[in-house]
Structure 1
Amino acid sequence: MNRKITAGSLIAIFIASLFAFPAPTEGQSERDRMIEAAKKEGEVVFYGGFSVSDVAGFIKKFNGKYPFIKVNHLREGAEKLMTRVLTERQAGKHTADVIQARGFPAQVMLDKGVFTKYLSPESQAYPKGFKDPDGRWATMYVQTSIIAYNTKFVKPGEIKNWEDLLNPKWKGQMVIDREETEWFANMLEVMGRENGLRYMRRLAEQRPTMWEGHTLMAQLVAAGEHPIGISLYAPRIEDLKSKGAPVEWVRSDPVIGFLYLVGLADKAPHPNAARLLIDFALSREGQTEVTESRRISMRPDVKPNPPRLVDGLNVHPSNLALARSYDRLYKEFQGIFGKK
């Protein structure tokens, strides 16, 4: 049957074709512009806590996608990194593009305006509590705070939870970091302040030795110098186990998750290259690389190495707002555990 094609029907067909073959979305064109701008910038300055060996694979994978961006990585511990960034800002110097830092120091920098908003499309994959609702940061990885022990001195099942550390037989057998304020603050929040303080005072009566550095303490536990480690990092214990060390860790409740955040520095000299680095860091590919150094990803589609690091655990994300009471909490922690 012949149909008469009118001007009106031609217009209708044209309009329908527009919907059938959509033009590139605004997001796609914005992405293209970002990549072109990043090519002109040519580099990105990344402040973080990764060791040289751990960050090498991450940078290699990033450069596989963006070979035109040189990554300049500066490594500092959490407190030193915070001090460096704030000192540079005070002097009017803005060097960092991307900053990766542990929770409490990161919160101090957030409150001082160090991070600016960048809502990475990759952040949508992360659960609540592991990203900033305002888009200033997302969790690059987590370190879980656990009880570790040497299997030559502690039998499996002897320690099942935090209360078991109060057994008199463990007096003088434990080690704890002298800067463990963030763990202390979050445990008080989970337990309830009064119950938490009561527990901490009883734990301090067990006379744990105070050292500095979680890696060192893990090694001391593995060597048997201190059979039990309080608030060590589970990935480090798993790494020692894989090398034959006689260590194990307790799947207690709760397990505090220390957040290591990544965000865009305000006044970043290379903002477009920085956004691409953040997107990669939070992507499935980037997070898979992060887990190669036994860090824990909070992306649901990326399993840690090994998976038992999170399977069945009640990981309580560190409440960064507690950092605003850091001075008081630090004095409380030192007043309880620092007594001779």
Structure 2
Amino acid sequence: MKAIAKTIGACMLAAAVSTPLFAQTLPDYYPADYKKLVEASKSEQGVLVYSVMSAQNWKPVLDTFKEKYPWIKVETLDLSNEIWSRYYSEKAANSRTADMVISLGVGPWIEFVKKNEVAPYQSPESKHVPDWSKPFPGVYSISADPVLIAWNSKILPDKKIDSMAKVAELAADPKLKGKFTTYDAASGPLAAVFPWVWSQHHKQDSWAMLDKLGPVSKPERSGGQMLSKLVTGEYAVAYLTSAITVLPKLESPGVKGIIKWSFITDGQPLYARGMAVTTSAKSPNSAKLLLDHALSRQGQIGWGQGGMTPVRDDIAEGDVPFFTYKSVVKAVGGEKNVEVLAYDPNYDTAIQDFTNRWKKAYTH
């Protein structure tokens, strides 16, 4: 009897271990045949992702993905501008390339779609993200990251600088000349997009403010440089600077108690990070599982824990350490004060025209 009991117990344990986790955790709105996708992933060789995020951004998302699908190995490469050229050259050489791409940038995404490099995958999580975050079939935005205004509270005590109009007013103070900073739009489209999106909220009226700020500003190429010089007092105000750079460091030694910040009430820019499974994917099923996880409630909370701004509609402020798309909208007074990066087919021309005009305002 003991031998029989042990045999039965062993069989029950084996059954429990072999039971796919997805059968226990699959949301009720997933299609009935989703398990076929999961099973197909088991014969693939892991997922290769080219992205513009650091390991710190990825870690909370990948930790929970591994719990769901422990057999899928995910390799993420932080490649910045190199993503697109690397993908195209590897494809041309018939080499292994990205199963998934996550990147900023309007022009490169439009070109990627036109070249049929995006697998038109319909995620079951699609209904939980905003329409604007799905610019093309198969392309989804994992986050809507804001920029903000930050200032040195030792130089500007008792100030609340919550609009670009207020930043422009401060530009008239001769004591603050040279103490303003922002991204250097002349360094390339990825930097120019920050002020360009804000300018779309005001159209030509934006130059009334930027022409005042240009002569008193010293543009920088990175948010990290802006923040470090803001802390030391070399700068008093950083405007249209990355929230991802500033917010996670507010409690750090040397920063805490010095830097104050605000979202931008007269046109809050939000920058979407697009994500897609590629048509060259060697592990398309595994990549689709990762895409769905990245858009799921659990995955979106993970992006928030990694310092990004989730777009999903059922993420509450208390679910993440910083902000969600909904909480940013609320903070600036509603959708009317928000400007989301649009996938404009004329983007390349528009950003070049903007950059040329920006150089006139900021060259001194």
User: Fold-level match, TM-score > 0.5?
Assistant: yes
- Which residue number in structure 2 is paired with residue 102 of structure 1? 104
Paired amino acid for 1:223: T
Once the two structures are TM-superposed, the CA of residue 112 in structure 1 deviates from its matched residue by: 4.1
Once the two structures are TM-superposed, the CA of residue 94 in structure 1 deviates from its matched residue by: 5.2
Gaps of 5+ in 1: 1-23
Paired amino acid for 1:148: A
Contact 2:42–2:72 (8 Å) recurs in 1: yes
321-330 vs 228-237, which deviates more?
321-330
Picking from 144, 147, 159, the partner of 1:145 is 147
Deviations 1:145-192 (A, max 9, x none): 111111111234352311122231243111111143112322232102
Picking from 260, 270, 273, the partner of 1:248 is 260
Once the two structures are TM-superposed, the CA of residue 229 in structure 1 deviates from its matched residue by: 0.7
Map of 1:1-340 to 2, 5 A cutoff? 27-29=31-33, 31-77=34-80, 79-93=81-95, 95-104=97-106, 105-132=108-135, 134-167=136-169, 168-169=172-173, 170-179=176-185, 180-192=191-203, 194-206=204-216, 208-243=217-252, 244=256, 246-253=258-265, 254-302=267-315, 303=317, 304-307=320-323, 310=328, 311-313=330-332, 314-321=337-344, 323-325=347-349, 326-337=351-362, 339-340=363-364
Once the two structures are TM-superposed, the CA of residue 284 in structure 1 deviates from its matched residue by: 0.4
Paired amino acid for 2:339: H
Q: TM-score, normalised by structure 2?
A: 0.78
Larger Cα-atom Rg: 1
% identity of equivalent residues: 20
CA distance in structure 2 between the partners assigned to 1:224 and 1:69 by the alignment: 48
Q: Secondary structure at the match of 1:50?
A: coil
CA, structure 1 residues 294+62, in 2 after alignment: closer, same or farther (shift >3 Å)? same
Count how many residue pairs are aligned between Structure 1 and Structure 2.
311
CA distance in structure 1 between the partners assigned to 2:126 and 2:155 by the alignment: 43
CA, structure 1 residues 261+185, in 2 after alignment: closer, same or farther (shift >3 Å)? same
Structure with the largest fraction of strand? 1
Contact 2:168–2:210 (8 Å) recurs in 1: no
Once the two structures are TM-superposed, the CA of residue 273 in structure 1 deviates from its matched residue by: 0.6
CA distance in structure 2 between the partners assigned to 1:247 and 1:174 by the alignment: 14
Deviations 1:272-299 (A, max 9, x none): 1110000000000011111112211011
CA distance in structure 2 between the partners assigned to 1:178 and 1:297 by the alignment: 27
Contact 1:237–1:248 (8 Å) recurs in 2: no
Once the two structures are TM-superposed, the CA of residue 261 in structure 1 deviates from its matched residue by: 1.4
Gaps of 5+ in 2: 1-27, 186-190
- Which residue number in structure 1 is paired with residue 6 of structure 2? none
CA distance in structure 2 between the partners assigned to 1:183 and 1:153 by the alignment: 25
CA distance in structure 2 between the partners assigned to 1:26 and 1:82 by the alignment: 32
Structure 1 vs Structure 2 CA RMSD: 2.5
CA, structure 1 residues 228+108, in 2 after alignment: closer, same or farther (shift >3 Å)? farther
Once the two structures are TM-superposed, the CA of residue 222 in structure 1 deviates from its matched residue by: 2.4
Once the two structures are TM-superposed, the CA of residue 241 in structure 1 deviates from its matched residue by: 1.7
CA, structure 1 residues 307+177, in 2 after alignment: closer, same or farther (shift >3 Å)? closer
Q: Secondary structure at the match of 1:320?
A: coil
Contact 2:57–2:307 (8 Å) recurs in 1: no
Deviations 1:277-329 (A, max 9, x none): 00000000011111112211011212342348624234321112153323333
CA distance in structure 1 between the partners assigned to 2:211 and 2:356 by the alignment: 14
Contact 1:143–1:235 (8 Å) recurs in 2: yes
CA, structure 1 residues 25+137, in 2 after alignment: closer, same or farther (shift >3 Å)? closer
Q: TM-score, normalised by structure 1?
A: 0.83
CA distance in structure 2 between the partners assigned to 1:201 and 1:107 by the alignment: 31
Once the two structures are TM-superposed, the CA of residue 255 in structure 1 deviates from its matched residue by: 0.9
